[in-house]
A = this chain, B = another copy of it.
């Protein structure tokens, strides 16, 4: 007995892996992506290299994209959004709106991989002067330059002599309402620091942090490597203000290890912006009638022993749609969600048969 296809929403690392996994199990998949291009944030935001292995992000993502593109079990719908649903899995009707208008189909199960968006450092806080100073950029802006193999001071186009990262911008911050840690920014800052030192060997690089959260193997793979091999300076401190003096951006704060105020002129300041639930994540939660957890991501209901089940049977979520996630998390959760979705259909078949 044939089952309905499994719907995967979102085509970042989690969505691509979920689609590939479902197809690997022999099920049909409909992969819906609101953008024109597959690949999610790593492609849309021009990631340079992956953490921790510094593999080229575009090449790695293209391998994943190619795998779903060439799989006859995967029906790819780009520039398409889900606009309505009715019924229950394994007989869930979804209406999609794409380039050729609206289309309806019945799906057996759903995997939501709608991911995150980066915190907007101009929102609710003028502290860091992101919109005031050209030389204050984000982790994401830095990726774009690193991908082009050219790291410059935006205001002059010249190589910088001194660059710093400010960690936890939009994370661990009750005032702006984001109480969570975004998990990946410490590792990514270390990775970008290494890349900047590779591209501009004369440039001094500093990282202002609260706690360096380079968990697991990231500890020596990127944190120690940045310190020892690339001479990046890590300063435990709180940045209280980023201002401009003449042509230079000045970072003021407190070095909490030394217990003294610091005031350092920088050519480029990189804000390590955290993760927030994406617009797509919030929209799909609403559309599929899924409760959110207290931080605003899609709530999973199984605790640490079942991280992909949502409150509705047959609807699963993977990756940063459920909270801050690194690449390994997103990929692993996608596989786990594929098993649950396929198992859900199989259970339905056994009952029906």
Contacts and interface: CB of A to CB of B under 8 A. Distances in A.
Interface of A: 13, 17, 21, 24-26, 50-53, 55, 60, 63-64, 172, 179-183, 211-220, 224, 236, 256-259, 293, 295, 303-308, 323-329, 331-340, 342-343, 346
A300 B326 CA distance: 17
Tell me the number of copies of this protein: 2
Contacts of A26: 346
Contact of A50 (B51, B55, B293, B305): B305
A331 B336 contact: yes
Given A180-B217, A217-B180, A258-B259, A335 B331 contact: no
A328 to B, nearest CB: 5
Given A213-B213, A219-B172, A257-B256, A339 B25 contact: yes
Given A211-B212, A329-B332, A339 B306 contact: no
> Which of A55, A324, A332 has its CB near the most chain B CB atoms (within 10 A)?
A332
Contacts of A63: 305
Contacts of A257: 256-257, 259
Contact of A332 (B172, B256, B332): B332
Given A64-B305, A304-B326, A332-B308, A339 B224 contact: no
